[in-house]
């Protein structure tokens, strides 16, 4: 079975609101950083080169997110990403954040589309991206 890509993020002071919990737009930034890390370290496709040298962009077309429990300053969250579906130009990924005790904090489903940055139109997913993504493809339920 394909293992998800896993990483950790520390909740910083700047992520938190006056109530002392992570403010939800900051979660979206953490998710984006995590996806970038997956490209760089998980798939071995440097995100910067993809954009700057190959003119391939990966904008978010759709995101749904459930926030299950609050996260607090100084906690280290475990992040996992698995690919749910690989289409022609798009792919769907499931991202989960868990607290130090394994408690689910958020679950997000992302649809990301490969685009030609010169036209901002979708383009068929490049073969190397498609191939490396297979390593994270979850078995069909």
Ligand X SMILES: CC(C)(COP(=O)(O)OP(=O)(O)OC[C@H]1O[C@@H](n2cnc3c(N)ncnc32)[C@H](O)[C@@H]1OP(=O)(O)O)[C@@H](O)C(=O)NCCC(=O)NCCSC(=O)c1cc(O)c2ccccc2c1O
Q: Is 60 in the site for ligand X (CB under 6 A)?
A: yes
Q: Which is nearer to ligand X, 78 or 130 (CB)?
A: 130
Structure tokens at 26: 């900051």
32 contacts ligand X (rule: CB under 6 A)? yes
Q: Which of 90, 94, 107, 109 binds ligand X (CB under 6 A)?
A: 90
Q: Is 113 in the site for ligand X (CB under 6 A)?
A: yes
Verify binding: residue 115, ligand X, rule CB under 6 A: yes
d(CA 75, CA 130): 34
Nearer to ligand X, 62 or 103 (CB): 62
Residues 6+ apart with CB under 8 A from 97: 9, 27, 30, 71, 77, 78, 79, 104, 105, 106
């Amino acid at each position: 079975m394909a293992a998800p890509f896993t990483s950790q993020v520390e909740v910083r002071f700047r992520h938190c609101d006056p109530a002392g919990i992570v403010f939800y737009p900051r979660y979206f930034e953490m998710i984006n950083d995590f996806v970038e890390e997956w490209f760089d370290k998980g798939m071995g496709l440097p995100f910067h080169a993809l954009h700057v040298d190959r003119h391939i962009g990966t904008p978010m077309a759709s995101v749904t997110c459930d926030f299950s429990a609050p996260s607090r300053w100084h906690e280290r969250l475990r992040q996992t990403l698995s690919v749910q579906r690989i289409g022609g130009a798009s792919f769907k990924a499931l991202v989960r954040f868990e607290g130090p005790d394994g408690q689910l904090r958020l679950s997000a489903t992302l649809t990301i589309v490969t685009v030609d940055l010169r036209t901002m139109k979708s383009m068929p997913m490049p073969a190397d991206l498609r191939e490396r993504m297979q390593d994270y493809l979850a078995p069909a339920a």
